[in-house]
């Protein structure tokens, strides 16, 4: 199982960082957007529209959409307010009052220039195009909306004629209309502040543009003019007139003397309910594209949901370009990732443009930019890891899509200059591995070793250790710090016995997460936790840490974020230096009991406990409480709440620190769930709290905990993962009991409600892999939220073991926790929903390992098994 450190992989962390940095620092040419509102007009339009095309009564349902939930989360992060819509609105209003100009500048940060379509309705409410120049690095330019031009000319001619106009007068007016329209387009072609044209024929009569029928257009025009006084006129609705306007614009662009043809943008795909979706696919434009091969045509808005059609057209027609705007932020994150993947399936990246489609509110620009960068990094990093594109080509793609392509297409003549790098104190959203390490090591001496750690299927803490000099040389040479680890790693028992069905072939890459850097657990060491990846960079479905990350990400799609805090119960033992089978002995006691003070009078024990807290404090891990537990030599150390991944990393690192200090002091620490037959057992309780867009809302956290209880029997396979775990499982011993239920401040229930969304999960011990355990809990709870589970269990106010049959019926307390590992594994395999979330491959392997482990442990005698487990946990 020996492997080599630092072998060059397909891609290194430094190369991936370079791709992320390009995404962050490339200036943006926003090739299609709309003006912002004047301050006095902000109240006329709903802020809720920033993530949706819905309007009217339909907009109210937006709060239940993934784009809205994600937008709220991101705005709340930027605004440093509560993660709910009410708080975001209040924070935005405060920004408007304090300094709307500063807030606008923050929202538009990173934009080189905006190409502005100022033809939206309610134009009087909006700022002028030039007003936006104060917020971009280069002067903004105009996009002329041709239907707006045509409508304004018709209105002027209609007011000049009366309803009794004769046919010849109407004919003359039509000719005048054509002359004025042509003159306006030609003037725009010559105007240096205009860089292109746009059609919204998609909204009017659809993209199936017909050949020009001038007679039909003349007749339609006559009807408008003849009825102008009676019916008025607002916009072009007649198919023949719409077709005429679009064809005439394209003809004038084609026939202009300049070799630099100004592009013609077309709204395609999604929009408000004014358009007919069946006619919004850009595939309808194919004949029109063929008719004007020298006119650059831009298909706006990713043509969603017809993205592949847009990519195809841009790939086979020289004059067609695909814009991937508006989907940021109108789609969910997964939807946006699919858009980017679909456009890249076929379309050359030299034909891809990006836009915000920002309008009315600066927040639309902010969200579009944040989400674009997030999605570009996710997709492109994945492509680079899998070898679909080289890292340098990925950087070229980013610069082309965000700047170069628009600069060339619209003849802007701008000079490419990366945005200013962040300072060391402000690394931004994509700090490199080197930057994270440099900041971590600031003001401290270089360590001797770097530990790269993981926790396996038996919850055994494992690691690889690299001399710091070697580790730094890998980083400085741009080589990978990943470590090759045999794929058998997820088939091993604690003593390296290998599950017979798992071959010792193949290799994963152990990829360190530099954001998890911690000092220790011993002098001269620093540690990181790692995830297993395939050589392509793809996640490994069997990786415990990646599984918890997936659970966190799933929670975010439902607008849920979590904090976890762990209690570390442990027993301190004396080491027995003799040849007997018993290697550990109970500490001498002067009446040890729960929370008593006398044990801390022992100078050796007191010094060890003080050193634990002091060492952890020096590492940035701030212990909240430390006290004696009930059994002799038993203590509890309480960790602070953290996001899930950081919380589990911290839990495992803290245990390593405690074990190391205890060993150095001549003691032994064990997490054995029942080290003493006639004393209280040892647990590893987890505290959880939930935040959502509506705050700590019972309508959210009650379905979450209902989901946990519904799937608790299956979850137990991960939280009570060893036969010794069930030695602790008992009623009336503050161990969470044997019943599936909950209670407010009830320590005899599996779930103890403390306050609001803060609940304690009690049926877990130190033999559980905490990544697996908490992933199972989060997946179950998230499923409860998604399925709107009801908390059908009543609040159990007494020890569930003391409930009568009628009490249990009234509280719906009908199920008991499994009584063995085999029963827990059977419950897990029977839980289809939990298996779906965890992945059938992981459940199958985990079950096989646990059955293999149980068979191995059954061959031991009781005392031999107890000592064997205490040696390892």
Q: What is the pLDDT of residue 119?
A: 84
Between CA 506 and CA 487 the distance in angstroms is 5
Tell me the HSE value of 319 on the side-chain side, using a 13 A CA sphere: 21
Q: What is the pLDDT of residue 2?
A: 28
Q: What is the pLDDT of residue 580?
A: 60
Taking a C-beta distance cutoff of 8 angstroms, is the pair 148, 117 a contact?
A: no
Taking a C-beta distance cutoff of 8 angstroms, is the pair 178, 231 a contact?
A: no
Distances (CA, A) of 752 to 95, 121, 478, 736, 773: 41, 56, 50, 8, 17
Between CA 101 and CA 180 the distance in angstroms is 38
CA-closest candidate to residue 406, choices 27, 20, 25: 27
Between CA 174 and CA 218 the distance in angstroms is 6
Who's near 412: CB < 8 A, 6+ residues apart? 29, 113, 138, 141, 195, 406
Q: Is domain 433-540 annotated with CATH 3.10.20.70?
A: yes
User: DSSP string of 152-172?
Assistant: HHHHHHHHHS-TT--HHHHHH
Between CA 179 and CA 194 the distance in angstroms is 20
**N- to C-terminal Cα separation, the chain:** 23
pLDDT beneath 70, residues of the chain:
1-14, 162-167, 169, 419-432, 478, 536, 577-582, 599, 693-696
Between CA 749 and CA 568 the distance in angstroms is 19
Helix (H, G, I), strand (E, B) or coil at 360: strand
Taking a C-beta distance cutoff of 8 angstroms, is the pair 554, 834 a contact?
A: no
Between CA 690 and CA 751 the distance in angstroms is 15
* C-beta pairs of 387-395 under 8 Å, 24+ apart in sequence: 387/10, 387/11, 387/536, 391/11, 391/15, 391/16, 391/18, 391/19, 394/19, 394/22, 395/18, 395/19, 395/22
Provide the 10 A C-beta neighbour count for residue 756. 13
Taking a C-beta distance cutoff of 8 angstroms, is the pair 494, 458 a contact?
A: yes
CA-closest candidate to residue 287, choices 356, 228, 211: 211
Between CA 88 and CA 93 the distance in angstroms is 9
Sign of the alpha-carbon torsion through 678, 684, 686, 687: positive
Between CA 30 and CA 141 the distance in angstroms is 10
Taking a C-beta distance cutoff of 8 angstroms, is the pair 752, 827 a contact?
A: no
Share of the chain residues as helix, strand and coil, in percent rounded to the nearest 5: 50, 15, 35
Taking a C-beta distance cutoff of 8 angstroms, is the pair 712, 591 a contact?
A: no
Buried-exposed string 436-470: b where 16+ CB fall within 10 A, e elsewhere: bbeeebeeeeebebbbbbbbbbbbbbebbebebee
pLDDT tens, 133-155?
A: 999 999 999 999 999 999 999 98
Per-domain residue ranges of the chain: 144-194+211-260, 433-540, 548-872
CA-closest candidate to residue 852, choices 461, 495, 546: 495
Buried-exposed string 636-656: b where 16+ CB fall within 10 A, e elsewhere: bbbbebbebbebbbbbbbbbb
DSSP 487: G
pLDDT tens, 814-847?
A: 998 999 999 999 999 999 999 999 999 999 999 9
Burial class (CB in 10 A: 0-12, 13-18, 19+), 390: middle
Between CA 813 and CA 795 the distance in angstroms is 10
Who's near 142: CB < 8 A, 6+ residues apart? 115, 116, 117, 118, 129, 191, 193, 194, 195
Between CA 423 and CA 646 the distance in angstroms is 25
Q: What is the pLDDT of residue 10?
A: 39
Between CA 583 and CA 585 the distance in angstroms is 7
Secondary-structure class of domain 548-872 per CATH: alpha beta
Q: What are the E-state strand segments in 820-864?
A: none
Global pTM exceeds 0.75: no
Taking a C-beta distance cutoff of 8 angstroms, is the pair 824, 807 a contact?
A: no
Q: What is the pLDDT of residue 13?
A: 62
Taking a C-beta distance cutoff of 8 angstroms, is the pair 747, 762 a contact?
A: yes
Between CA 211 and CA 745 the distance in angstroms is 76
User: DSSP string of 286-325?
Assistant: HHHHHH-TTS-EEE-GGGTT-HHHHHHHHHH-TTEEEE--
CA-closest candidate to residue 545, choices 639, 455, 483: 455
Taking a C-beta distance cutoff of 8 angstroms, is the pair 321, 356 a contact?
A: no
Between CA 421 and CA 438 the distance in angstroms is 16
Partner residues linked to 659 by β-bridges: none
Q: What angle (nearest 5°) sits at the alpha carbon of residue 351, between those of residues 346 and 357?
A: 105
CA-closest candidate to residue 51, choices 403, 336, 310: 336
DSSP 650: H
Q: What are the E-state strand segments in 789-834?
A: none
Phi (first) and psi of residue 411, to 5 degrees: 55, 50
Partner residues linked to 322 by β-bridges: 299, 352
Taking a C-beta distance cutoff of 8 angstroms, is the pair 796, 741 a contact?
A: yes
Sign of the alpha-carbon torsion through 357, 363, 367, 369: positive
DSSP H or E stretch at residue 530: strand 525-533
Q: What is the pLDDT of residue 695?
A: 60
CA-closest candidate to residue 531, choices 504, 551, 513, 514: 513
Count of residues for the chain?
A: 873
Between CA 389 and CA 339 the distance in angstroms is 18
User: DSSP string of 236-288?
Assistant: ---HHHHHHHHHHHHHHHHHSS-SSPPPEEE--S---TTS-GGG--GGGGHHH
């Amino acid at each position: 199982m020996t492997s080599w450190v630092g072998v060059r992989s397909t891609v290194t962390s430094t190369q991936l960082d370079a791709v992320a940095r390009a995404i962050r620092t490339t200036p943006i040419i926003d090739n299609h957007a709309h003006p912002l509102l004047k301050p006095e007009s902000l109240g006329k339009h709903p802020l809720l529209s920033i993530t949706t095309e819905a309007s009217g009564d339909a907009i109210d349902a937006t709060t239940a959409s993934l784009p809205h939930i994600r937008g709220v989360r991101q705005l709340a992060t930027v605004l440093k307010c509560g993660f709910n819509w009410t708080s975001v609105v209040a924070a935005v209003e405060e920004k408007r009052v304090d300094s709307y100009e500063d807030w606008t500048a923050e929202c538009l940060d990173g934009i080189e220039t905006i190409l502005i379509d100022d033809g939206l309705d309610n134009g009087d409410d909006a700022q002028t195009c030039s007003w936006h120049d104060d917020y971009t690095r280069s002067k903004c330019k105009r996009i002329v909306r041709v239907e707006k031009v045509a409508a304004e000319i018709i209105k002027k001619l209609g007011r000049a004629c009366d309803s009794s106009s004769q046919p010849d007068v109407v004919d003359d007016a039509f000719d005048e209309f054509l002359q004025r329209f042509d003159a306006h387009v030609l003037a725009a072609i010559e105007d240096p502040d205009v860089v292109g044209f746009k059609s919204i024929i998609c909204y009017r009569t659809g993209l199936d543009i017909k050949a020009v029928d001038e007679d039909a257009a003349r007749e339609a025009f006559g009807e408008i003019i003849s009825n102008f006084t009676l019916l008025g006129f607002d916009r072009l609705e007649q198919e023949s007139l719409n077709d005429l306007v679009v064809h005439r614009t394209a003809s004038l662009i084609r026939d202009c003397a300049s070799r630099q043809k100004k592009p013609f943008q077309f709204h395609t795909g999604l929009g408000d309910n004014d358009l007919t979706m069946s006619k919004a696919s850009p595939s309808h434009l194919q004949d029109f594209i063929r008719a004007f091969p020298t006119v650059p045509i831009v298909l706006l808005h990713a043509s969603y949901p017809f993205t592949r059609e847009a990519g195809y057209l841009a790939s086979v027609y020289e004059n067609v370009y695909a814009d991937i705007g508006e989907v940021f932020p109108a789609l969910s994150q997964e939807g946006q990732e699919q858009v980017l993947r679909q456009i890249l399936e076929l379309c050359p990246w030299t034909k891809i443009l990006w836009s915000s489609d920002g309008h009315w509110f600066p927040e639309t620009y902010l969200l579009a930019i944040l989400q674009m960068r997030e999605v570009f990094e996710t997709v492109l990093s994945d492509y680079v890891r899998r070898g679909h594109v080289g890292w340098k080509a990925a950087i070229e793609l980013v610069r082309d899509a965000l700047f170069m392509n628009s600069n060339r297409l619209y003849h802007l003549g701008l000079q490419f200059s990366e945005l200013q790098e962040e300072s060391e104190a402000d690394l931004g959203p994509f700090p490199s591995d080197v930057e994270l390490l440099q900041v971590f090591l600031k003001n401290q001496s270089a360590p001797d070793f770097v530990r790269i750690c993981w926790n396996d299927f038996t919850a055994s803490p494992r690691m690889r250790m690299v001399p710091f000099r070697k580790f730094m040389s890998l980083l400085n040479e741009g080589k990978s710090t990943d470590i090759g680890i045999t794929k058998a790693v997820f088939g091993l028992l604690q003593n390296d016995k290998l599950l017979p069905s798992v071959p010792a072939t193949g290799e994963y890459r152990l990829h360190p997460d530099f954001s998890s850097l911690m000092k220790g657990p011993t002098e001269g060491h620093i540690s990181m936790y790692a995830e297993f990846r395939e050589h392509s960079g793809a996640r490994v479905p069997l990786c415990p840490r990646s599984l918890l990350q997936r659970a966190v990400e799933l929670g975010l799609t439902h607008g849920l974020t979590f904090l976890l805090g762990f209690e570390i119960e442990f027993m301190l033992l004396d080491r027995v230096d003799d040849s007997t089978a018993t290697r550990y002995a109970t500490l001498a006691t002067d009446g040890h009991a729960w929370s008593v003070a006398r044990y801390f009078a022992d100078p050796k024990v007191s010094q060890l406990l003080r050193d634990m807290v002091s060492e952890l404090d020096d590492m940035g891990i701030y212990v909240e409480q430390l006290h004696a537990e009930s059994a002799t030599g038993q203590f509890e150390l309480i960790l602070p709440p953290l996001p899930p991944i950081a919380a589990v990393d911290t839990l495992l690192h803290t245990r390593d620190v405690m074990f190391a200090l205890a060993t150095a002091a001549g003691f032994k620490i064990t997490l054995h769930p029942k080290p003493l037959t006639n004393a209280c057992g040892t647990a590893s309780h987890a505290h959880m709290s939930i935040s959502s867009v509506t705050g700590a809302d019972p309508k959210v956290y009650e379905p979450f905990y209902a989901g946990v209880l519904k799937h608790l029997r299956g979850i137990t396979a991960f939280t009570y993962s060893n036969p010794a775990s069930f030695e602790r499982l008992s009623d009336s011993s503050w161990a969470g009991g044997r019943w599936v239920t909950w209670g407010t401040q009830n320590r005899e229930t599996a779930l103890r409600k403390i306050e609001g969304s803060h609940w304690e999960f009690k049926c877990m011990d130190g033999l559980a892999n905490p990544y697996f355990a908490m992933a199972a809990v989060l997946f179950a709870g998230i499923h409860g939220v998604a399925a709107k589970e009801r908390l059908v269990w009543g609040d159990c106010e007494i020890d569930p073991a003391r409930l009568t049959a009628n009490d249990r019926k009234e509280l719906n307390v009908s199920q008991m926790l499994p009584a063995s590992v085999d029963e827990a594994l059977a419950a897990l395999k029977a839980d289809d929903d939990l298996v779906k979330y965890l992945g059938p491959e992981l459940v199958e392997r985990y079950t096989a390992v646990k059955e293999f482990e149980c068979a191995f442990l059954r061959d031991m005698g009781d005392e031999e098994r107890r000592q064997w487990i205490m040696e390892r946990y």
